[in-house]
Amino acid sequence: MTVALLLLAAYVLDRMVGDPRSLPHPVVLMGKAITALERLIRRFVRQRSLKRAGVLLPLLVAGGSWLLTASLLWLLSEISPWLALAAEAWLLSTTIAAKGLKDAGMAVYVELRRGDLPAARQALGMIVGRDTASLDSPEIVRGTVETVAENIVDAIISPLFYALLGGAPLAMAYRAVNTLDSMVGYKNDKYRDLGWASARLDDVANYIPARITALLLTLCARLLRLDWRRCWRTVHRDARLHPSPNSGYPESAVAGALGIRLGGENVYHGVASFRAYMGDPLRSLEPEDIIITSRMMLLSSSIFVVFCAALAFIGTGG
Q: Is the pLDDT of residue 249 over 90?
A: yes
Helix, strand, coil % (nearest 5) of the chain? 75, 5, 20
Structural domain containing residue 63: 2-315
Q: Is the pLDDT of residue 174 over 60?
A: yes
Number of domains in the chain: 1
Q: Is the pLDDT of residue 228 over 70?
A: yes
Q: Is the pLDDT of residue 318 over 60?
A: no
Q: pLDDT tier at 184 (50, 70, 90 boundaries)?
A: very high
pLDDT for position 317: 62
Has this prediction a pTM greater than 0.75?
A: yes
pLDDT digits (tens, 9 = 90+) for 35-89: 999 999 998 888 888 888 889 899 999 999 999 999 999 999 999 999 999 999 9
What average pLDDT score do residues 245-253 get?
97
Q: What single string gives the DSSP state of each residue in 151-218?
A: HHIIIIIHHHHHHHHHHHHHHHHHHHHHHHHHHH---STTTTTTSHHHHHHHHHHHHHHHHHHHHHHH
What average pLDDT score do residues 3-32 get?
89
Phi and psi angles of residue 168, each rounded to the nearest 5 degrees, phi first = -60, -40
Whole-number average pLDDT of the chain: 94
Q: How many Cα atoms within 13 Å fall on the side-chain side of residue 310?
A: 6
